[in-house]
Structure 1
Amino acid sequence: MHVLLVAKDYRNKFSIEFINLVQERGLVVTWCNQLEVLAHQAVACFVTHCGWNSTLEALSLGVPMVTMPQLSDQPTNAKFVEELWQVGVKAKKNKEGIVTWDELEMCIKEFTAGETSEVIIKNATNWRKLVIRAVSLGGSSDKNIDEFVGKLVEGEGKKA
């Protein structure tokens, strides 16, 4: 398993041991273009805090998710990911409230060899197809934006 870890000022947030372990298996960076990474064919899943933007980006690109929600809307978004849309699994915290490396690895393996892997990947792929259809010419999002712009133009005409 290879890892891309994105964390601003990561040297102050992670132990040297953890950074060394991850660097042996992947890349640690302070910033990257999340959409470009998620769109890459090598990405098997996305470990996410489940902020709404990140959740929508992964969902629209058909990327399964391991969720690690913290606060605000994140627990609700994680519940949608796991239970409603069935495109991911929630990482469980230990007694100290920490998600261990073993737990994270077990969640990731759920996408590659777990009992629900076929369902999760199928659902993630279906969501991607739905998004593509919606934003394509004549799709629901395309029609809605045309309708919105039409109302704006119509409103401007009434002011003149």
Structure 2
Amino acid sequence: MTKMEDPFEQLLNRLEPPVTTIVADTFLFWAVGVGNRRNIPVASFFPMSATLFSMFHHVDLLAQNGHHPIDISDSSSVTTGSDNLNYLQWLDSQPCHSVLYISFGSVLSVSSAQTDEIAAGLRDSGVRFLWVARGEASRLREVCGEMGLVVPWCDQLKVLSHSSVGGFWTHCGWNSTVEGLFSGLPFLTFPIALDQFSNSRAAVEDWKIGWRVKRQAGVETLVPREEIAELLKRFMDLESHEGKEMRRRARKVQKICEEATANGGSSETNMDAFTREITQLLLPSHEEI
């Protein structure tokens, strides 16, 4: 990302009319320097939760209190692509709210040992599922049984919005968390690193729309197949009182999200307020003398 600075400045030199404000991702720290050199205000856009922003702001407390970051070395992989399986057609053939959608993101991966336990737990639970498992889809198809599909990629928002999907097992990355909230689904949380732990805590403890799969945070904690199978049976039981209450709360959060993004909602209101503030900052005063 640091190599973007020079091309960005070259772009600014060519633009007409000239740029008067820069809105930049917080992690593109060099944008502040560009703005300072050109006397252009820079607004920081933080695309994650306010909780994580607060954590970054107080990161010095980690050292003061003796906390240490989780070791995620050798755990990353990035894959892209699509799959020829018609997973949407398969979803169309499943009963309403009967399918568990599983995805742990595209950047950080679950250990091979844990992946095997998840596959065995799915098989033993008898729960219908659609699992996005990048890089291991072919192998896992043979392990998971006949109750679901394993694919290397899918259109996540379409899947989450499908009527046959009744739950979301997620790593709690911010994009996945937001999409799950907008879809009104309960969560099984499986955080791996970074903001995923605070997002998981919000879903489980604050919004009360999900359960943790891991009893203890940390990539080394192995959840056995027996525990996974029992948890999945409970989670996808649409007739249980706890399941009904969790889904009711998830739908309530969904409604809040819809209201926030509707015309006149808080998203539009806040964006309008931001635009007015920037405009007032840039334009000279027109007060009458």
TM-score (norm 1): 0.82
CA distance in 2, matches of 1:124, 1:140: 20
CA distance in 1, matches of 2:146, 2:210: 26
Distance 1:25 1:61, change over 3 A: same
Note if 1:126 corresponds to 2:252.
yes
Structure 2 unaligned residues grouped into runs of 5+: 1-126, 285-289
Percent identity, please. 33
* Equivalent residue number for residue 68 of structure 1: 190
How far did residue 156 of structure 1 move?
5.1
Match among 41, 56, 61 for residue 178 of structure 2: 56
**CA shift at 1:44, angstroms?**
0.7
* Number of residue pairs aligned between Structure 1 and Structure 2: 154
The correspondence for 2:267, drawn from 116, 138, 141, is: 141
2:129 aligns with 3
- Once the two structures are superposed, what CA deviation does each residue of 1:92-129 show, in whole Å capped at 9, x if it has no partner? 369x8323344333333234244421221111000000
Please report how far the alpha carbon of residue 155 of structure 1 lies from its aligned counterpart in structure 2 after TM superposition.
4.5
Q: How does 1:11-160 map to 2 (within 5 A)?
A: 11=137, 16=139, 18-22=140-144, 24-92=146-214, 97-108=221-232, 109-112=234-237, 113-155=239-281, 157-158=283-284
Distance 2:255 2:147 in 1: 32
CA distance in 1, matches of 2:276, 2:236: 44
Shift of 1:51: 1.2
Asked whether the 8 Å contact 2:141–2:149 carries over to 1, the reply is: no
What do you get for the CA RMSD once the two structures are aligned?
A: 2.5
Query: Which protein is richer in helix relative to its size?
Result: 1
In the TM superposition, residue 157 of structure 1 has moved relative to its aligned partner by 4.1
The alpha carbon displacement at 1:23 in A equals: 5.5
Larger Rg: 2
Tell me what 2:40 maps to.
none
Contact 2:190/2:213 (8 A) holds in 1: yes
Letter in 2 for 1:127: V
Q: Distance in 2 between matches of 1:155 and 1:39?
A: 41
Tell whether the 8 Å contact from 1:64 to 1:124 is kept in structure 2 after alignment.
yes
CA distance in 2, matches of 1:64, 1:31: 21
What is the alpha-carbon distance in structure 2 between the residues aligned to residue 105 and residue 7 of structure 1? Answer: 18
**TM-score normalized by structure 2?**
0.48
